[in-house]
Amino acid sequence: MHAFSYQHGELYCENVALTNIAQEVGTPVYVYSKETILGHFLRLKEALAPLNAEVAFAVKSCSNIAILNLMAQHGAGFDIVSGGELFRVSKAGGDTAKCTYAGVGKTPAEIRYALEQGIYCFNVESIAELEAINAIAGAMGVKAPVAVRVNPNVEAGTHKYITTGKSENKFGVDFELILDIYRMAAKDLPHLHLKGLQMHIGSQLTQVTPFLEAVKKVAPLAAQLKEEFGIEFFSIGGGVGIVYKESLESGESKWWNDDCEQLTIDTYAKAVVPVLEPLGLHIIVEPGRLIVGNAGTLLTTCLYEKIGKAKTFKIIDAGMNDLIRPALYEGHHQIIPVKEFPADSKVQADIVGPICESGDFLAQNREVADVKAGDLLAVLSAGAYGFSMSSNYNSRPMSAEVLVDGDTWSLIRKRQTWNDLIEGESIPQ
């Protein structure tokens, strides 16, 4: 369930009217619901209970330390992809011993930092990286825990920019080469501890079939690696998709997935658990979007309306620098007014931001409420890869972030100022 709903004609997050947040903090602002975040996390934990699986939250999806702290308090592990993300986890009070570190381009400094922090495992993406980790661990006099990321060459059926498990993608190592690589590492790389096996086939998957195909293909390999090298875990990555369309219609908020013909948490768990359980391995999942996607909304104000020859534009104060998903992946986000409009008052319009790019739109040719200057809009399902992908493009300060908990809310990131924009810059003397 996501906790955004109309009450008395006004959009609320849990028991807080979004208008109040906008009045105090200004717009654009990201608003997250604690109840929704924990709801998804706990439902997933429960569905995977037969595996006693570790849920490692994908930090890249929403990396504010307040959100990471919330996950840590409820026992989550973390899927990280940079030294910066590891730093965030440690500052948020997360357990660095529960971090698995993926990514094709880890630097020597990042590898050293991760070893110092005692992370659970490196998810290694190439032979060259295995050798680099081995050398650094040797120099530090430690053994580095590693898992190789297997690329199972499975079609994920998602946008091409977020497909990661095909041979032509830069991620992981070809399935056919894995066994030889573990044998080589066991023989030649003495400073490595072969601890697990990992995969991640893509993001925003809306069918269970690719997951099932991938785990069925890779499970026998995991079993063999357990037998030969005593590996202890198998991480199946993240990727469970969410509902972006019609997640809030006619005043109702509903369980994000139960009413929709999409991949539900239960469908996912029922498919993968029977394949994974017999392995007797520690299983890790790495969800990001599933946990926070529907839990966040980007609140924005309509600045102007412009009626052109071909189109009507509603110009808002949030742009592609605040939410890049529509521009980058043609991502669809439902956009609704904060003050409820009659259902028959819709117009067809483009909702566009202030950035000097034609790609700066949050919706195109969309039937939207006929909002006017000053009206507030909520861009739904923006909790994952929303703020975390935002930038200062066009020298726009990054937005504020707020976490709602019941009838209270906290500012978890203050809006940047113009001074923040030039922080660290200097003019040569």
Which residue has the closest beta carbon to ligand LLP? 238
Shortest Cβ distance from residue 288 to ligand LLP (Å)?
3
Shortest Cβ distance from residue 325 to ligand LLP (Å)?
5
Side-chain-side CA neighbours of residue 359 (13 Å): 11
Concerning whether 99 is annotated as a catalytic residue, the answer is no
Positions 151 through 180 that interact with ligand LLP (CB under 6 A): 162
Shortest Cβ distance from residue 423 to ligand LLP (Å)?
26
Strands 296-307 and 376-379: antiparallel
Shortest Cβ distance from residue 44 to ligand LLP (Å)?
10
Positions 322 through 361 that interact with ligand LLP (CB under 6 A): 325, 329
The rounded distance, in Å, linking the Cα atoms of 2 and 13 is 9
Q: How many amino acids of this chain bind ligand LLP (CB under 6 A)?
A: 21
Among 28, 210, 238, 353, binds ligand LLP (CB under 6 A): 238
- Of 131-139, 280-288, 390-398, 413-421, the window that binds ligand LLP (rule: CB under 6 A) is 280-288
Shortest Cβ distance from residue 295 to ligand LLP (Å)?
13
Among 165, 239, 319, 353, binds ligand LLP (CB under 6 A): 239
Positions 9 through 68 that interact with ligand LLP (CB under 6 A): 58, 61
Report the candidate in 73, 28, 3 with the shortest Cα–Cα distance to residue 406: 3
Nearer to ligand LLP, 61 or 206 (CB): 61
224-231 — which CB contacts under 8 Å span 24+ positions?
Answer: 224/179, 225/178, 225/179, 225/182, 225/194, 225/197, 226/279, 226/280, 226/281, 228/182, 228/183, 229/182, 229/186, 229/194, 230/194, 231/147, 231/194, 231/195, 231/196, 231/197, 231/281
Helix (H, G, I), strand (E, B) or coil at 425: coil
| Residues at the site binding ligand LLP, with contacts judged by CB under 6 A | 58, 61, 79, 102, 162, 200, 203-204, 237-240, 286-290, 325, 329, 384-385
